[in-house]
Amino acid sequence: MRVISWNINSVRLRAPLVEKLIAEAKPDVICLQETKCPNDSFPEKLFHKLGYTHIAKNGIKGYHGVATLARLPMAETNIVTYCDRTDGRHIETVFETANGPLHVHNFYVPAGGDEPDPKINEKFAHKLAFLDEMEANFRAIRRQKKAKRQILVGDLNIAPGEHDVWSSKQLKNVVSHTAVEIAALARVQASLNWEDVSRHFVPASEKLYSWWSYRARDWAASDRGRRLDHIWVTPALLNDVTGFEILRAARGWERPSDHAPVVLDVT
C-alpha cells in the first residue's frame, strides 16, 4: 500500500495538482490537509473518475479541513473533534488487510499564529491544547490495546529536530520550532510509541524539509524549509514499512502548495 500525505492548501484550487500526483506517484491512499472546502463542495466526481471511489471528508467552509481518498474500501471512518471545535482537523479511516485492520489518522494541527505565548495568543493556546488532547486520545487507545497497526500522517505544524529547520538557532523562538511545541509533540509521539518514519530513512543529522514559504523569491535556491509534515507508525508496523520520500519537486509545480507530498510505502 502506498499512502501519500499532502497539505494541498485548497483542494478545489489545486485539484489538477492532485491529479498530476496520482499520475506520477500512483498512491492507494491520499490524505489531504487544509482542503478549505465544505463536504458538499468537495470535488468527488474528479477523484471517482481517477479511481478513488472511497472518500472520507471532514471539511468546513474556507478553512482547515482534511480528506482521505482511497482506491480501497474503507471499513470504518471516524471524525474526531478537539477543544470542543468542529474545525475539520482529524479524520480516521480503517482498512481491512490480510494482516488485520489498518488505522490511518489524517491530521491538520493548528498552526498557532505568530506569537509563541499562550497567555497573549489564543491561537497558540489552542495549538497546545489540541496537542494535549491528541496525547490523551492516543493514550486511551493504548490502554484499550487497539494500537497494533496504526499510521498517523499530516501537517503537524511542528518541526521538532535541529535539522528539521534551516536554522534551529534563528527559529528557536518562532512558532513551529519552539521548545514548548517540541515537548508537546514528543508527548504525543510517546503516547502510542509512534515511530517517526522520516528519520528511519533519513538520519537526524541530515536536513529534511517538507514546507517552503511562499515569501521566498526563489524557495529552491534559498532552501529555508521546515519539516512540518510527518508520517508516524506504531512499532508493530515499522518492519512493514518499505519506503519513504518527500516529493520536493511538487513544490515547484505551477501554482503549487507551499507543502510537498510525503510518501509512505507499507506492506
State the total domains in the chain.
Answer: 1
207 is in which domain, residue-wise? 2-266
Cell 480501497 maps to which residue?
A: 72
Question: What predicted TM-score, i.e. pTM, was given to this entire model?
Answer: 0.96
147: CATH: 3.60.10.10
Closest CA to 32 of 48, 21, 40: 21
Structural contact between residues 69 and 22, judged by C-beta atoms closer than 8 angstroms: no
200-210 pLDDT, tens per residue? 999 999 999 99
Instruction: Give the DSSP letter string of 30-58.
Output: EEEE-----GGGS-HHHHHHTT--EEEEE
- pLDDT of amino acid 99: 86
Are 118 and 229 in contact, with CB atoms under 8 Å apart? no
Q: Are 156 and 99 in contact (CB under 8 A)?
A: no
Residue 146: per-residue pLDDT? 66
pLDDT for the residue 162: 98
* 224-to-66, 108, 167, 219 alpha-carbon distances in Å: 26, 22, 8, 7
Bridge partners (DSSP) listed for residue 165: 226
pLDDT under 70: residue ranges of the chain: 146-147
What whole-number distance in Å separates Cα of residue 46 and Cα of residue 42? 10
The Cα 66–Cα 35 span in angstroms is 6
